[in-house]
Amino acid sequence: MGKILGIAIQNYGTLKNVKMGKLFSDQSSKELGNMIAVIGASGNGKSTLADAFGFISDCLSGDVESACDANNRGGYDQLVSQDSAEPIHFEIYYKETSNSRPITYELTIGKDKKNRPYVKEERLRQRRPKNKNGRPLSFLYLIDGKGYAFSGTDGGQDDNGSIEGSKEEVELSDIRKLGIVTLGAMKQYSRIEMFLDFLKSWFLCYFAPDTARQVQTSAPAPYLNRTGSNLNNVAQYMYRENPDEFKKILADIQTKIPNITQIEPVKMPNGQMVLEFYQQGFDHPFFSPRMSDGTLKLFAYYLLLHEKNPRQLVFIEEPENGLYHQYLTDLAIEMRKNVGTGYTKQLFVTTHSPFFVNALAPEQVWVLEKGEDGFSAIRQASSYEFVSDLIEEGAEMGDLWYSKYFG
């Protein structure tokens, strides 16, 4: 459970200084909802935003230097905003459930004396229980790998140095690794562990139908991977866990994929699972590798929405690629419905499609624009003049975007 109420990013490529939603450092803004679509012209930073989430994920699985090099990022010097003397900085404002106290995570990645990227500063803060307002207490604070952490579910240190709860001095042996990863692996730091689990559940999705056509060996997998290449393995897992429920899910998905009348899981003698798609006009089914790119992509998206223990934050880059434009509004409606308003799922999407955006509300659409300095700024579509009024009068977001009311 959990979602981010806001995020601030500094010095990450074209995102020199952007914030979305509510933050500890900006309490006046509204919290982010569960469905966020990011639009903007080419080069305005949509992929950079998606990549910032990916970068944070990559920092969890290795060290920050490897994360700077991974996924074509080209290393720290390419990644940090050009000519910026300041380090890369993230602030995440997170809440586990509606009545839990928000947690602020701050992460600063800079370069050490030998010009190697390292974790310059890391901090987790939370208010005292029952304290509606007031300064939060830091329960993890590391500068250059040294500092303190508080065990247990409460406590921390305030800015004046007064301490509540059980403080432990901490020094990391590797300053290129995140403190939350090292300490979150230890039972006594349950709050750090919980926050780490939340970050670990982020998922960046770049479905590529061709990889989903490859025949996979039999190996049930609970989650779709980045490219969707393990589609059949996920089907196998879902079928194994609960065949009846999986058949219901398939029946539901089938109603959303045009021209498909039935989807059947078929188990091969070697344990492998394949999916048969029955298509209008044909008596015999087709196996999934024979389906069109768009059909496979839609199927993968809908399967993603039906994951049993869903990833808490999913980021999809340009879901419209390879899909017929008329399907996009329905896909966005389903996504919006699926994420709901609770604390189980949050979905970020970048898109160029007015059809997709047509299903959304002004608060759900965020626009990236380039400033005169060449860096990007982001604002909610609802902040543009007339947009919310026109929507109330029955206009649709994608149409307004197309007509240049915003974006």
Ligand X SMILES: Nc1ncnc2c1ncn2[C@@H]1O[C@H](COP(=O)(O)OP(=O)(O)OP(=O)(O)O)[C@@H](O)[C@H]1O
Contact residues for ligand X (CB under 6 A)? Answer: 13-14, 40, 42-48, 78, 81-82
Choice between 44 and 126, CB closer to Mg ion: 44
* Minimum CB distance to ligand X, residue 227 (Å): 18
The pairing of strands 163-171 and 146-157 is antiparallel
Q: Which does 104 bind (CB under 5 to 8 A by kind): Mg ion, ligand X, none?
A: none
Q: How far is the CB of 81 from ligand X (least distance, A)?
A: 4
Minimum distance from CB of 226 to ligand X (Å)?
17
Kindly tell me which of 40 and 354 has the beta carbon lying closer to ligand X.
Answer: 40
* Local structure of 358: helix, strand or coil: coil
Question: Which does residue 48 bind out of ligand X, Mg ion, none, counting CB within 5 to 8 angstroms by kind?
Answer: ligand X
User: Nearer Cβ to ligand X, position 16 or 123?
Assistant: 16
d(CA 20, CA 2): 17
Contacting Mg ion within 119-148 (CB under 5 A): none
Which residue in the shown chain puts its C-beta closest to Mg ion? Answer: 47
CA distance 154 to 34: 28
Record the tokens describing residue 120, joined without a space: 């310059």
Candidates 29, 47, 201, 272; binder of Mg ion (CB under 5 A) is: 47
Residue 382 found at the interface with Mg ion (CB under 5 A): no
* Rg from Cα positions in the chain: 23
Whichever of 46 and 176 has its CB closer to Mg ion, that residue is 46
Partner touching 13 among Mg ion, ligand X, none, CB below 5 to 8 Å by kind: ligand X
Give one DSSP letter per residue of 227-281, joined into a string. Answer: T-TTHHHHHHHHHHH-HHHHHHHHHHHHHHSTTEEEEEEEE-TTS-EEEEEEETT
Q: How far is the CB of 402 from Mg ion (least distance, A)?
A: 19
Decide whether 253 or 323 has the Cβ nearer to ligand X.
323
Q: How far is the CB of 14 from ligand X (least distance, A)?
A: 3
Cβ–Cβ under 8 Å, residues 76 and 176 = no
Dist CA 52 CA 355 (whole Å)? 26
Distances from the Cα of 11 to the Cαs of 14, 77, 119, 271, in angstroms? Answer: 7, 11, 15, 49
For residue 120, the surrounding DSSP H or E stretch is strand 117-126
User: CA-CA distance, 171 to 382, in Å (whole number)?
Assistant: 46
Q: In the complex, what is the shortest distance from the CB of residue 45 to Mg ion, in angstroms, rounded to a whole number?
A: 8
Q: Which does 261 bind (CB under 5 to 8 A by kind): Mg ion, ligand X, none?
A: none
Residues contributing to the site for Mg ion (CB under 5 A) = 46-47
